[in-house]
């Protein structure tokens, strides 16, 4: 199980960071990045408001009667309420760009939502009386949980990155890039502040110069709109019961692919070809001593048969189950039916020679004591913490209503060690 948790950790980082990048940048799912109307363009400005550059930018936009979108940092909005009021009063749109310019990869989804997005929206709402509903994460980086923000916020990235945070690029290339690369539906990323990590402090000065010259040459080539005009909010459809959305299907496919790799890598085999729900792996036990109900003690170095569930079959069971209790009953019944077969393997298969007992860790452990298993709390620590979140995440991924399942019968969703000695199996399940 420890190897699995390690692999889960590495896989989780990939799912948490890389998968959202593929979903948003490659497939464009869950985000807005380019409009569809002819001649329509959205100017967007990140990292402000800045007391030096934002007023100059507002003057320039007002000169050309252009409405834009400002994705502001909540901490700066808090310090510059007059600028936020001016942006709002002059008809521009205000979106959220986190409270501080911190990557979402370095935070939990809860922290992103509560301490950055909602907090910043509260600040802007107190100043303007209007709550922002559009969001752009710093550097356009999303973690997997950020897609849940779509219930309250529309996520907007961009179709044209002008690299104007670099003073040299803004001074020498920005005007040419804007004149040659902007097309129908472009969402242009610019910055009205240069004090964030990686930016040049004077870069907004050159951005303003280049934008002023470009607007003069654009004349009436484009209609400049706010992002809420380019991407009007629509009521999101609620998936029908039993249906998985795109993100969940993608997560499920990635999860099952990883599981198949893990099974091959660690030589995990089904108990029976006819019913492969239960799988086994022989290994040495290296945890703290476990005293079982029949007096047998499993100690470090003892050979055990580690129990695993076939997650491909578990997908079918969870999708058909009416509740977590119903799922538990089905799994316990299937396990009980397989125990005589497991005993036969322990008694007759050479690879299971000297196995002291069965061992597993599961969220679904209610009722296993009736089958002869000893149920033991996991020792507190990082392993217990990681195991709990791994198994709950698995439940969320596998079940179409996984979120609801985690909210109901929560007392069942605490992982515990379940173990039974070979001697107890012989006493109960003589083949």
In the chain, what are the domain boundaries?
2-6+240-428, 31-230
pLDDT at 239 over 50: no
Structure tokens at 282: 């022989």
Contact indicator for 318, 327 with CB cutoff of 8 Å: yes
Contact indicator for 298, 356 with CB cutoff of 8 Å: yes
pLDDT at 260 over 90: no
pLDDT at 320 over 70: no
- Does residue 191 have an active-site annotation? yes
Q: Mean per-residue pLDDT for 263-284?
A: 88
Residue 200 pLDDT:
95
Contact indicator for 264, 393 with CB cutoff of 8 Å: no
The answer to whether the predicted template modeling score (pTM) of the entire model surpasses 0.75 is no
- What pLDDT digit, counting tens, does each position of 136-175 carry? 999 999 988 888 888 889 999 999 999 999 999 888 899 9
pLDDT at 12 over 90: no
pLDDT at 240 over 60: no
Residue 236 pLDDT:
45
CB atoms within 10 A of CB 59: 11
CA distance 131 to 108: 23
Residue 175 pLDDT:
94
Residue 403 pLDDT:
53
- What pLDDT digit, counting tens, does each position of 188-209 carry? 999 999 999 889 999 999 999 9
Q: Which of 32, 46, 302, 308 is catalytic?
A: 46
Residue 392 pLDDT:
61
Residue 306 pLDDT:
94
Taking Cα atoms as reference points, which of 404, 398, 17, 407 lies closest to residue 244? 398
Q: CA-CA distances (angstroms) from residue 225 to 33, 44, 177? A: 14, 10, 20
- Does residue 46 have an active-site annotation? yes
Residue 252 pLDDT:
67
Taking Cα atoms as reference points, which of 101, 54, 56 lies closest to residue 80? 54
- Determine the longest span between alpha carbons in the chain, in angstroms: 90
pLDDT at 406 over 70: no
Q: Which of 97, 191, 308, 399 is catalytic?
A: 191
Q: Which pLDDT band, with edges at 50, 70 and 90, does 237 fall under? A: very low
Q: Mean per-residue pLDDT for 69-77?
A: 98
pLDDT at 415 over 80: no
First-to-last C-alpha distance (Å) of the chain: 28
- Cα 216–221–225 angle (5° rounding)? 95
Residue 413 pLDDT:
59
CA distance 424 to 428: 6
More confident residue, 237 or 113: 113
pLDDT at 387 over 70: no
Q: Mean per-residue pLDDT for 330-341?
A: 87
What lies within 8 Å, CB to CB, of 71 at 6+ separation is 44, 45, 46, 47, 95, 96, 97, 134, 135, 136, 156
Sign of CA dihedral 291, 294, 299, 303: negative
- What pLDDT digit, counting tens, does each position of 79-132 carry? 999 999 999 999 999 999 999 999 999 998 889 999 999 999 999 999 999 999
High-pLDDT (> 90) share of the chain, %:
56
CA distance 340 to 355: 15
Q: What CATH number does the domain located at 31-230 have? A: 3.20.20.370
């Amino acid at each position: 199980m420890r190897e699995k948790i390690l692999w889960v950790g590495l896989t989780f980082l990939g799912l948490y960071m890389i998968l959202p990048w593929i979903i948003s940048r490659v497939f464009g799912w869950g985000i807005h990045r380019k409009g569809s109307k002819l001649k329509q363009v959205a100017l967007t400005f990140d990292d402000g408001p800045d007391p030096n550059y934002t007023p100059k930018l507002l003057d320039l936009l007002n000169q050309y009667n252009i409405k834009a979108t400002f994705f502001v940092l909540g901490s700066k909005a808090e310090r510059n309420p007059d600028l936020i009021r001016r942006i709002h009063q002059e008809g521009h749109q205000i979106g959220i760009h986190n409270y501080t310019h911190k990557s979402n990869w370095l935070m939990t989804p809860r922290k992103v939502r509560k301490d950055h997005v909602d907090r910043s929206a509260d600040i802007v709402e107190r100043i303007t009386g209007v709550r922002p509903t559009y969001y752009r994460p710093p550097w356009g980086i999303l973690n997997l949980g950020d897609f849940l923000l779509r219930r309250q916020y529309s996520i907007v990235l961009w179709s044209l990155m002008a690299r104007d945070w670099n003073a040299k690029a803004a001074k020498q290339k920005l005007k040419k890039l804007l004149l040659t690369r902007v097309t129908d539906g472009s969402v242009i990323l610019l910055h009205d502040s240069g004090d964030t990590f990686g930016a040049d402090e004077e870069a907004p000065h050159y951005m303003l110069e280049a934008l002023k010259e470009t607007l003069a040459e654009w004349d009436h080539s484009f209609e400049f709109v706010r992002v809420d005009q380019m991407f009007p909010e629509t009521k999101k459809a609620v998936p029908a019961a039993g249906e998985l959305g795109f993100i969940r299907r993608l997560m499920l496919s990635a999860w099952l692919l990883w599981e198949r790799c893990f099974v091959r890598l660690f030589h995990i085999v089904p108990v029976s070809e006819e019913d492969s729900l239960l799988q086994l792996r022989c290994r040495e036990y290296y945890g703290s001593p476990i005293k079982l109900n029949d007096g047998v003690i499993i100690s470090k170095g003892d050979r055990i048969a580690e129990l695993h569930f076939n997650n491909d079959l578990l997908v079918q069971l969870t999708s058909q189950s009416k509740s977590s209790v119903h799922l538990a009953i089905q799994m316990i019944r299937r396990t009980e039916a397989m125990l005589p077969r497991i005993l036969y393997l322990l008694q007759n298969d050479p690879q299971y020679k000297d196995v002291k007992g069965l061992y597993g860790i599961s969220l679904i452990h209610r009722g296993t004591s009736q089958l002869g298993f000893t149920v033991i709390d996991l020792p507190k620590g990082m392993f217990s913490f990681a195991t709990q979140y791994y198994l709950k995440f698995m439940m969320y991924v596998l079940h179409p209503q996984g979120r609801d399942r985690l909210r109901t019968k929560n007392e069942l969703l605490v992982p515990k060690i379940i173990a039974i000695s070979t001697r107890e199996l012989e006493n109960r399940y003589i083949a």
